[in-house]
Amino acid sequence: MRIVILLLFCSLLMGCSQEPSRIQDELDLGQYTQAVDQSSRQDPMHDAAQLMVRLETQFASYRFEDSITTARTIEKLPLPQDNPIRLRAKSIQLSAEAMLDRLKQAAGTYQIERSILDDGQEETTFPSTGQLHVSFGKPHSLLATVQYQHFGMSDAPRSDTETVRFEPDLSARLSLSEGLVSYVFSRAGLTLTFEGPGGKRIYQLKKVD
Amino acid sequence: MERCSLCGTPLETEATACSYCKHPVLKKQQFDEESSVTPVRSSRYVLSFIIVFAIAVGAIGTWYALTQTDSTHTTLAAPVQALSLSDWSDETSAYNQTYSSENPPASYDILKFVRQYTQTVPETANYSKATDTLETFSAIQFATLDAFQSEVDALRTIHAASDSPVPPRLQTVDFKRFVSKEDSYQVRTVETYQLPVNQQLVTYDVRYNVRLHTDHLQITHIVRTEVDA
């Protein structure tokens, strides 16, 4: 029993003598590469900082599945619950998971609900046809494949496939020589706008499956 | 305190029968015999109490010491939440961001900066010394003149495809290696751009050197090599 008390006392002393290391400030400010640069391999925080660099590069590359894997590795490190590395890794993990959920909801087949021609003066509906199929890629989660299936104006439908890089807000703007195509996902569905010299053709699409 | 074994009424020390139910106190004799042993037992109780107390104090002390060292660095133990979209997406422009010694760039800021720079690459590929004004190219906001010039030279494949009706565009940026060397950052990426002709792809292996120039980030050196995807 005396040994136990002695050990406890020692661990208490160790807790007190644990001075905040120099790299701790960098870790708190999110400067993980500097923390890696200035710490030695033996430093207990070295591996954690290194993993944070990996996590951030994956997250910045929009590789959400890889980010979640790395965040889980960080979660298993013997860090205190309120350690800033642990908290940031968890935040990134939650963001990546939320993003993948949104992408899951957004992927699917869409049908035209309304098609509007806006020529600057007035908005008129015009007849349109077809479907769109959207799927998101791996490992780059925001890279979508958009399949046009007899899509667009009834007299000139298009049937082809396009690769579209979406931004995290689930919108994409692709420039054309004299215009712009924009894709915007919302709760209601997908809005596809072709903007050219003749005005805007807006397709409001609804998910069918 | 001794209690009546029948009804539980507290007994007086010398009582031989319960004051309430008159039940005789049978074990009174036995208890008196045992009382000679109690001093030894009670000293044991005191000792074990001291040990338990010491362990408790030790545990609380250790816990306090550990939380103390950490709580100096964390502001509030708020529940962990997902990051806001503007924190990690390219919603806000990275080249307008200024830094100071109190507010140094976080490692993610560097990645964001480079990622936003890659969006200017198709435009840079268009640059022609003869007809264009350098200042109108957004890449110059991110990089030094030398870095811009080296990009113009390195982007020949994209340049060749630039006069098509659909301009080339960025498809993916993959961050591969990201290190700090004192006050400069080295970022290696693999970037894929989509060319308008048959949706052909061109992939580059790119090494960036980024540093803090007075108060803002700047790409000082770019080595761009075309690779097979």
What string of H, E and C letters represents the secondary structure of chain A? CHHHHHHHHHHHHHHHHCCCCHHHHHHHCCCHHHHHHHCCCCCHHHHHHHHHHHHHHHHHCCCHHHHHHHHHHHHCCCCCCCCHHHHHHHHHHHHHHHHHHHHHHHCEEEEEEEEEEECCCCEEECCEEEEEEEEECCCCCCEEEEEEEEEEECCCCECCEEEEECCCCCEEEEEECCEEEEEEECCCCEEEEEEECCEEEEEEEEECC
Structure token digits, residue B93: 């422009």
Query: In terms of residue numbers, what domain contains B209?
Result: 85-227
**CA distance linking residue B39 with residue B25, whole number of Å:** 24
Q: What is the CA radius of gyration of chain B?
A: 39
CA distance B213 to chain A (A): 17
In a domain, B71, yes or no: no
In a domain, B23, yes or no: no
CA distance A26 to chain B (A): 9
CB B167 within 8 A of CB B204: no
Q: What is the CA radius of gyration of chain A?
A: 26
pTM of this structure: 0.76
Tell me the count of A-B CB pairs closer than 8 A. 150
In a domain, B30, yes or no: no
Residue of A nearest to B61 (CA): A12
What values do phi and psi take at A156, rounded to 5? -145, 65
CA distance A155 to chain B (A): 23
Residue of B51, B62, B195, B197 to mutate, interface with A, max A Cβ within 10 Å: B62
> What per-residue confidence (pLDDT) applies to B82?
92
User: Do A33 and B91 make contact, defined as CB atoms within 8 angstroms?
Assistant: no
Residues of chain B found within 8 Å of residue A84, distances taken between Cβ atoms = 73-74
CB A96 within 8 A of CB A67: yes
In a domain, B138, yes or no: yes
Domains: count for chain B = 1
Structure token digits, residue B139: 């890449």
For every one of its 229 residues, what pLDDT tens digit does chain B have, with 9 covering 90 and above? 677 777 888 887 777 888 888 888 765 444 454 555 555 677 888 888 888 888 888 888 777 777 665 544 445 556 889 999 999 999 999 998 999 988 999 999 999 999 999 999 999 998 988 889 988 999 999 999 999 999 999 998 898 887 777 888 999 999 999 999 988 999 999 999 999 887 889 999 999 999 999 999 999 999 999 998 6
In a domain, B33, yes or no: no
CA distance B184 to chain A (A): 9
**CA distance linking residue A187 with residue B5, whole number of Å:** 74
Identify the structural domains of chain A with CATH numbers, from first to last.
Answer: 2-103 (no CATH), 107-207 (2.40.128.20)
- Can you tell me which residue has the tokens 């439908």? A157
> What would the mean pLDDT of A133-144 be, rounded to a whole number?
95
In a domain, B47, yes or no: no
In a domain, B132, yes or no: yes
In a domain, B171, yes or no: yes
**CA distance linking residue A16 with residue B62, whole number of Å:** 8
> What per-residue confidence (pLDDT) applies to A120?
86
Residues of chain B found within 8 Å of residue A57, distances taken between Cβ atoms = 111, 175-178
pLDDT value at A142 more than 60: yes
Residue of B nearest to A176 (CA): B166
Exposed (0-12), middle (13-18) or buried (19+): which is B190, by Cβ within 10 Å? middle
Residue of A nearest to B122 (CA): A175
Residues of chain A found within 8 Å of residue B179, distances taken between Cβ atoms = 33, 36-37, 53
- CB nearest B179 (choices: A33, A61, A82): A33
User: Cα angle vertex B23, ends B20, B26, to 5°?
Assistant: 135
Phi-psi region of B198 (alpha: psi -120 to 50; beta: other; left: phi over 0): left
What values do phi and psi take at B198, rounded to 5? 50, 25
Contacts of A7 (CB under 8 A, 6+ apart): none
Q: How confident is the model at residue A9 (pLDDT cuts 50, 70, 90)?
A: low
Look up residue A50 and give its amino acid: Q
**CA distance linking residue B155 with residue B121, whole number of Å:** 8
Phi-psi region of A66 (alpha: psi -120 to 50; beta: other; left: phi over 0): alpha
> What per-residue confidence (pLDDT) applies to B16?
81
Kindly report which listed range (A10-14, A107-111, B101-105) carries the lowest average pLDDT score: A10-14
Structure token digits, residue B95: 């080249």
Residue of B nearest to A1 (CA): B51
User: Do A37 and B167 make contact, defined as CB atoms within 8 angstroms?
Assistant: no
Return the CATH number at B219: 3.10.450.540
CA atoms within 13 A on the CB side of A62: 26
User: Do A60 and B180 make contact, defined as CB atoms within 8 angstroms?
Assistant: no
| pLDDT tens, residue by residue, A151-195 | 998 888 999 999 999 999 999 999 887 889 999 999 889 999 999
What is the DSSP track for B129-187? TTT--GGG-GGGGTB-HHHHHHHHHHTHHHHHTTTSSSPPEEEEEEEEEEEEETTEEEE
User: Do B77 and A82 make contact, defined as CB atoms within 8 angstroms?
Assistant: yes
**CA distance linking residue A132 with residue A183, whole number of Å:** 12
Residue of A nearest to B77 (CA): A82
Give the strand pairing for A190-196 and A179-185. antiparallel
Q: How confident is the model at residue A18 (pLDDT cuts 50, 70, 90)?
A: very low
- CB nearest B174 (choices: A36, A61, A80): A61
What one-character DSSP code corresponds to residue B91?
S
What values do phi and psi take at B4, rounded to 5? -65, 130
> What per-residue confidence (pLDDT) applies to A87?
93
